[in-house]
Every structure is written in C-alpha cells, then in structure tokens.
Amino acid sequence: MFVMRNLLLFAAVSLFVFSACDDDDDVLVQDRLSLNISGLEDLGDDYAYEGWLIVNGKAVSAGIFNVDGSGALSQNSFAIDSDDLANASAYVLTIEPSPDSDPGPSSVHILAGDFSGNQANLSVGHSSAIGSDFSTSTGSYILATPTDGADTNENSGVWWLDPSAGPGAALNLPNLPAGWKYEGWAVIDGVPVTTGKFTSLDSADESAAFSGSQAGPPFPGEDFLMNAPSGLTFPTDLAGATVVISVEPEPDNSAAPFLLKPLVGMVPSDAADHTLYDMSNNAQATNPTGSVTR
C-alpha cells in the first residue's frame, strides 16, 4: 500500500510538472509588439484602431486600441504569436467599427510600414496605407456665391476653382484609395462648416446644404446663404476666416474635420471676390507618424 501511494504521488507530481511546462511553452510562443505612434486622434465610441501584421500575404490582427484626447494610446504593447511576429513583412493600422463583426481589416488604412529587421517605420504615404503623404499637394480658391444668381454676398461662398482656366480645377491632390474622401471646410467664427465631400477635383462635391437654389459650378465648394448652423448667421463674410481641405475616413467617425488636413488657407482680411488665393501645405503638421518594434 505504501509503495502504491508513492507511485500515485509521483504520477501526480509528474503530471503537474508536465502541465506547468506546457503552460510555459504557451507563454514562450508569444512575443511582444511595441507601438510608438503619435498624431492619432480620439475616434469616439463607435470606432477603434486595429493593427495588422502581413504574414505570408495574409493579415493577422495585432491588437485593438483607442486614443484619448491628448493622443495617448490606450495600449502600446501587444502579445503576438512569435512565429507570426517573426515572419511578418509589414504592419498596417486601420480604423474599424467598434464593436466589429468582421474579422478582417477594413478598407480604411491610415498607417503602414515594412519591417526592416525588428522595426517598421510607419507613414500615411506607404502603399498599404493612403499611398501619399500629401507633401506636394497644392490648392487655391475663390470667394463667390454663384448659386444665388445675383452679384451679392459674394464673400459668403468658397469654391476651389480657377476662373482663368476656363474655369478649371484649383486643387492638386492625389487620388485616394477606397476608404477615404476629401472634404472642404470653412472655419467661420471658430466653427468648422463643411462644404462637402469629394473625390474628383473637377466635379461637384456631395453637398449643397447651405447653397442657393441655382446650380453651382462643377467643382468642390459651397455658398453659405441659408440653413446656418446654430450660432452662425448666413450670408456671412469669409474675409479673415480659414478654409481647409481634409482627408476623411469613409465611413466617417465624426462630423468634425479628421486629423489629416493637407491644405489650409487663411482668407485675407481684405479679401476680394472672384480673386484666386493660394492655400498652404499643412501635411507635415497633421500626418501621424510612428514605428512598431518586434
């Protein structure tokens, strides 16, 4: 009986050791992926950021995180299967619905980078992200209100067109991939008011929420003549205001401008209507950047 009990005790101890070794093995097959990313914004309650490793051509989730109002990531280190981490050729950051019923990545790719050794430097210009850093983008605009049919209130509208070109397009922007659209804005008394989203530089945009009853020119822009948002009065005078071209995720996480604002124009305080004014390139100031380390 004594011998039998010793045998049973030995078997139990052996089983415990074997199980503990298995648990250790489970831990050892995971390594850490560390994120160092700046310039992202809070997406609100309905969206989140998700990282993806590209392993043998397939996307493998590398963690979901949020960003607070100061740009701090809710989590910057993730446990990843060591084989996936070692074999990853690239890292891609997307914007996903939250909660998300789709196990794969969305089309809204905001940052990406290829691994070189143990690090991947991330940019919006990577071909697996937006594909351009907007550093060569240019733009001009005029003040005019063509949709009221009268030569009045001309400083109450902004249009991205060049009158001397026929008229022609006054924006030089790259084509956007699926998941992204441009949007025009006028910041009036500190309130950003949309002029509409667009993908074509020489076609009307998707909105005429504030314009008059007549058709506008076939270019992005808006007349601020009616339906003024709370706290504003239309018609207005855009002299001294700011006009902006942003790059927005589609679907959009917010009615406010997204963090990517490649073009900004300060409307002169003595601005004249139908006069072409240039915008400044603002991409370097608003593009998020970062790296991941395995």
Domain positions in the chain are: 29-131, 138-286
Q: What is the pLDDT confidence band of residue 28, given thresholds at 50, 70 and 90?
A: low
Q: How far apart are CA 215 and CA 147, in angstroms?
A: 6
33-79 tens-digit pLDDT: 999 999 999 999 999 999 999 999 999 999 999 999 999 999 999 99
Q: Indicate if the pLDDT at residue 182 is higher than 80.
A: yes
> DSSP label at 244?
E
Q: What is the pLDDT confidence band of residue 29, given thresholds at 50, 70 and 90?
A: confident
Q: Indicate if the pLDDT at residue 273 is higher than 90.
A: yes
Radius of gyration over every alpha carbon of the chain, rounded to an integer in angstroms? 26
Q: How far apart are CA 152 and CA 146, in angstroms?
A: 9
pLDDT value, residue 13 = 33
Average pLDDT over residues 125-143: 98
Average pLDDT over residues 153-175: 97
| Global confidence as pTM | 0.89
Q: Indicate if the pLDDT at residue 16 is higher than 90.
A: no
**Alpha-carbon torsion (112, 115, 118, 119), positive or negative:** negative
What's the CATH class of domain 138-286?
A: mainly beta
Q: What is the pLDDT confidence band of residue 88, given thresholds at 50, 70 and 90?
A: very high
Cis, peptide link before residue 251, omega less than 30° from 0:
yes
- The DSSP bridge pattern shows strands 260-266 and 280-281 to be antiparallel
Helices (H), 120-221: none
E strands present in 56-153 = 58-65, 77-81, 88-97, 109-116, 119-122, 138-143
Cis, peptide link before residue 229, omega less than 30° from 0:
no
